[in-house]
Amino acid sequence: MIYILLGISSILIAFYIFNSLRNAQNSFAVQEVKRYFFKRNKADKNWSSNGRVYTNGIALVKDKTTEKKHFIKQSELCDIGILS
Amino acid sequence: MVEFNDKWYGWIPTNLGKVKFEFIDEEYLKKQFKTAKIQKVKEQLTISHADISYISDSPWFAKLFFWRKEYFSELDLTVKKKAEDFTGAMKILYKDSIEFFAEFFICSNGEVEFTLKQINNPESIEYVPFLESIKQIFYVVLKSIIHGDSHHHQKIDIAINITHDRFDEKKILDDMLFYLKTIEKNIKHIKNDSIRLKQSVLLDEVEGYLSYIETFVLLFEQKESSKLEKKKKIAQNIKKSLQATINKREKKHQSKEHFKTVLLTIAALFIATNILINSFYDSKEVLSIYVNNFSRNELFVYSFVFWFVVYFGFMYKSAKSFLYYNCYGCYKFLRNIIVALLGIVKIILIFLFLVIGIVLIGYGVFV
């Protein structure tokens, strides 16, 4: 009986971590990390800075699959306040 | 080649109230554009092959990746002094690819009018969207050359934006106010120690920024106030800007001094500890029983490790704050790595707990 209870507790803990991960995945900070590491800070039309200071950028890149060059619009959250 | 005659406007900040050709700093430009050919003669400035890859917001490591190559831009520019005003032309070019060519006219009050003249090789890329961003780049690059940005690094910041159709003073001022409000909001929301140094310096930076806003209002205000009074106010604004720079430098200096002072104190305590320990060595004091269990070298190393840990513990928050202020890029990279690692650890934990749970339930049912 004790093993079954411990097993159920373990699965519940796994679900708890899963939920916290799912919430974190939706959080602004995690979305920003994904943009930073995997999308070259690409900003689509729906991107919002959530009231944070940011810079705008533009990059000309070659697409890996189509081998064609195209511009991407970028935004990067930056240091608070005026940059120095 | 596609020809245009598209216009847009911006403001080059000047707290003097006049953009002066004499204040374009050739040495500063040579530091900023190391590989460029820069020539400033009496009434003309020429820059060719200046690397302006900073207009890309890709993280530093993404620029190294060869699997999805990024093309970096160069700048060719000519500025000519024409009485009190300036005229000139700029070309932003991506090597073996698209080129944007524009002309500009700068009034002595900082008002600048751009005209996009032509785009060469537009067929070399899939499509040419984001013409607004390209226009903003022209403005930011020119502003950084004429103004010599000292308040912020050379990126396409959102502090002052371009306006279309006409020079819109109200929109420019609104953008500047919005930027100040964003700073205030950001500071109020971030409460960790890492921004301590930045926070203390920020007020001085804002003070300098305010002096530009005041000059802007004086320059473009419709109200006809005394010209001499305006000049006096401009002089006060220059003083404010200077005061802000001095305060900022003083705070940075104090922060470095703090590191040194604590280090010297710890070094003095380390020496005192060793003198004390050695005085017990081979003596008849009670403590010598404990001290004699170790060699002199071991005691020296242990006391060093002890005081090093104390120093690190004491300076940890200050060091974090210093790193945030001086190496924000590095700080941001490390913080993002930690967030990503935490995500991976959570995924591993989920699988681990699931497997343990299933094994335990299986064991409880069958045994």
**Of A22, A67, A71, which to mutate for an interface test with B (greatest number of B Cβ within 10 Å)?**
A71
Q: What is the pLDDT of residue B227?
A: 67
Residue A81 confidence class, pLDDT cut points 50, 70, 90: low
Q: What is the pLDDT of residue B224?
A: 63
Cβ pair B292, B281 in contact under 8 A: yes
Cβ pair B40, B140 in contact under 8 A: no
- Could you report the average pLDDT of every consecutive run of 10 residues in chain B (367 residues)? 83 84 86 88 91 86 72 92 91 89 93 92 78 88 79 61 89 86 77 72 78 85 68 74 77 82 91 86 73 82 90 80 77 84 91 92 84
How many angstroms from the chain centroid is the CA of residue B179? 15
**Of A69, A72, A74, A77, which to mutate for an interface test with B (greatest number of B Cβ within 10 Å)?**
A69
Token pair of B9 as six digits: 């406007």
Region class of A73: left (phi > 0), else alpha (psi between -120 and 50), else beta: beta
Q: How many CB atoms lie within 10 A of CB B101?
A: 20
ipTM of the complex: 0.77
Chain A and chain B share a number of CB contacts under 8 A equal to 201
Of the partner residues B58, B98, B153, the one whose CB lies closest to the CB of residue A40: B58
How many angstroms from the chain centroid is the CA of residue B227? 36
Q: What is the pLDDT of residue B9?
A: 94
Cβ pair B123, B23 in contact under 8 A: no
B78: Cβ–Cβ under 8 A, 6 or more apart, which residues? Answer: B44, B45, B46, B47, B88, B89, B90
Q: What is the pLDDT of residue B151?
A: 47
Rounded-to-integer distance, Cα B362 and Cα B358, Å: 6
Contact state of A75 with B134 under an 8 Å Cβ cutoff? no
Cβ pair B2, B118 in contact under 8 A: yes
Contact state of B71 with A61 under an 8 Å Cβ cutoff? yes
Q: What is the pLDDT of residue B268?
A: 93
Closest chain A residue to the Cα of B334, Cα to Cα: A33
Nearest CA-CA distance, residue B19 and chain A, Å: 22
Collect all residues of chain B within an 8 Å Cβ-Cβ radius of residue A2.
364
Residue A83 confidence class, pLDDT cut points 50, 70, 90: very low
* Prediction pTM value: 0.76
Residue A55 has pLDDT above 80, yes or no: yes
Give CA separation, B255 vs A79, B313, B326, B328, B355, in Å. Answer: 19, 17, 11, 16, 51
Measured N-to-C along each axis, helices B328-366 and B296-326 cross at an angle, to the nearest 10 degrees, of 110
Of the partner residues B68, B186, B358, the one whose CB lies closest to the CB of residue A62: B68
Cβ pair A72, A42 in contact under 8 A: yes
Cβ pair B287, B280 in contact under 8 A: yes
B20: Cβ–Cβ under 8 A, 6 or more apart, which residues? Answer: none
Q: Average the pLDDT over A64-69 and give the result.
A: 80
Q: What is the pLDDT of residue B66?
A: 60
